[in-house]
A and B are shown apart, each in its own frame.
Chain A
Amino acid sequence: MIKLLGTLLIVSSSGALGFLKSQRLKKRSDSLSRLISALVLLETEISYGRKSIKDAFLSIGASENMPFFTLVSEKIGNMSVSDAFSNSIKCCDMCLLGTDNIVLLEFASTLGSLDTASQIKSITHTKELLSIAQKEAYEYYKKYGRFYRNMGLLLGILFSLILF
């Protein structure tokens, strides 16, 4: 009975780890997609709405249901846009890689300090970089998402067989 419980415990926890890893891959791809959508909205808010960064991020955070932008909006004013981005990236787990964060921080370094035309160019450039990263993230998830789920489960079974 104890052996059976132990086996179940090992298999389920190992399977859960595999599932979590797979979910993180999916979440990175989803986060990048939503960041791109948010940048499209930001482009509109800047070119037509002429809203301040703070107000634009507040409405994007609400409409896209992205706490990251709401957090950035709350922090702007108390600190620079760059610092607000950097702090919010640490607080919100969007499952992004270091390279994704670098793209966001580079974007933030000029955000709000350019004229409209240059700001739109900066957004377009960032969208392109994020699109490349998103495609890569999606491909990676498609390729390895199921692999991690199955691998977790199988490793758990293998480990149980070796132990008992």
Chain B
Amino acid sequence: MFALAQENKELSTYFLTALPEKIRSPVSKSGTDRLLEVRMRCGEKLLAVFKSGSYLLSPNGELLRERKNAMTVTEGDIKSALELITSFSLYAYENEIRNGFITISGGHRIGVCGEANIGKNGMTHLKSIQSLNYRFAREIIGCSDSFMEKIVENGDIKNTLIVSPPMCGKTTLLRDIARNLSLLGKRVSIIDERGEIAASAGRTSPFDMGFGCDILSGAPKADGMLYMLRSMSPDVIITDEIGGNADLEAIREIKKRGVSVIASLHGRDTKLLDFDTVINLERSFGDD
């Protein structure tokens, strides 16, 4: 319990230091224990989303339901926030911004939106950034304990796909599965394309990763999975939010080599996925 509290404090610190000073104080005062998101929209009121619902924040950190007395987010606040998030180096995060979000230390994801610039091959970059959505990454040690006996049977790791809508804890669950598997002595490789599972790009992961996992950050999932298969001889490969056919092809290739895959997928229910996707998923994850 003590270890859990310490980890959460570290994650809160990462989250708060990425907020501009003016915003940091009310968010900190409102408490980060149950915080899910902080939304900054230029010219609008500062919004915090908790498990209990959404509230506007006053400069003193009071939770408000009315606009009166709520803090207004200015263009300067968005600029300061971007400077902090990108370490004063917007160019270094061009690809991340094009994909819609930046992941900061602690695995917190910051969604970015504004006016898009369109080139020959679609969206090139954002001309002006108007809104930021800070999503608080959580670590819940032990949240996968009840699933472990289904995932590991007689020492074998089953191919597993976690399907859920956004904000339901797919990444948190994957992280804890990785921790549990490493504690079982399995060689765990994580493909952390967006730095959310282990948040270890260029640094030590702030999360409890058990006896340790091999983490490849920033690489596209399909390439990353095959790379780890070659380089780290894993028992299991874990990755987040698979999507394209390339990912499924890579998973099939990995399965052929006798290595298990645990992944997550955006969706409310596998029944609601379209036919082709289900067929592809069954081919990739189902028993041969």
Contact = CB atoms under 8 A, between A and B. Distances in A.
Contacts of B30: none
Contacts of A112: 83, 86, 88-91
A27 interface: no
A156 B94 CA distance: 61
B90 A113 contact: yes
Contacts of A51: 89, 92
Contacts of B179: none
A70 to B, nearest CB: 16
A25 interface: no
Contacts of B83: 80, 112-113
Interface string B13-37: 0000000000000000000000000
A54 B87 CA distance: 8
A114 interface: yes
A114 B79 CA distance: 12
A53 B94 contact: no
A20 interface: no
A54 B88 contact: yes
Interface string B54-88: 00000000000000000000000001001100111
B89 A53 contact: yes
For this complex, into which size category does the number of interface residues on chain A fall?
10 to 19
B-side interface mostly = helix
B125 interface: yes
Contact of A52 (B82, B87, B94): B87
B264 to A, nearest CB: 28
Interface in A24-47: 46
A76 B83 CA distance: 10
A43 to B, nearest CB: 11
Contacts of B82: 113
B87 A53 contact: yes
A115 B125 CA distance: 8
A13 interface: no
A65 interface: no
User: Which of A54, A76, A115 counts the most chain B CB atoms within 10 A?
Assistant: A115
A127 B269 CA distance: 57
Interface string A103-124: 0000000011111100100000
B80 to A, nearest CB: 9
Contacts of B90: 112-115
Given A80-B83, A112-B83, A115-B94, A53 B125 contact: no
A38 B94 CA distance: 23
Contacts of B125: 115
A81 interface: yes
Nearest to B202: A55
Nearest to A84: B88
A116 B97 CA distance: 12
A116 B94 contact: yes
A142 interface: no
A50 interface: yes
A141 B82 CA distance: 44
B83 to A, nearest CB: 7
A53 B86 CA distance: 10
A119 B86 CA distance: 15
Contacts of A50: 91-92
Contacts of A114: 90-91
11 contacts: A46-B92, A50-B92, A51-B89, A54-B87, A54-B88, A54-B89, A76-B87, A77-B87, A115-B91, A116-B91, A119-B91
Interface of A: 46, 50-54, 56, 76-77, 80-81, 111-116, 119
**4 shortest A-B CB distances, which residue pairs?**
A112-B88, A52-B87, A52-B89, A116-B91
